[in-house]
Amino acid sequence: LPSAVLLKDMKLMDVKLGQLGSWLAMRDFTPGGIMGAIRRGHSRYYNKYINVRKGGLGGLSMVLAGYIVLSYMWSYSHI
């Protein structure tokens, strides 16, 4: 059996529509709570997209695509 999770500990995507009002009422909307949420979101974004440890084909293909776009812009600057 899955363990029961308290409503205040649930993520937004796991909250049902009927529980949304009470879930929002449990959130911390003080300036400190808002800054903490922004800090956690920035940390999550930074660790997922910026501070990656392994490179892959995706990053290399984005660099190559950026180079191609820049070279076309430089070659066809009259357009």
Number of domains in the chain: 1
Query: Does 8 have pLDDT greater than 70?
Result: yes
The pLDDT score that the predictor gives to residue 1 is: 43
Q: Fill in the amino acid letter for 23.
A: W
Q: For residue 14, what are the domain limits? A: 7-77
Asked if residue 2 belongs to a domain, the reply is no
Q: What is the mean pLDDT of residues 9-38?
A: 90
Q: Do the domain assignments include residue 46? A: yes
State pTM to two decimals.
0.52
Considering only residues 11 and 3, tell me which one the structure prediction assigns the higher pLDDT: 11
What is the average pLDDT across 15-31? Answer: 90
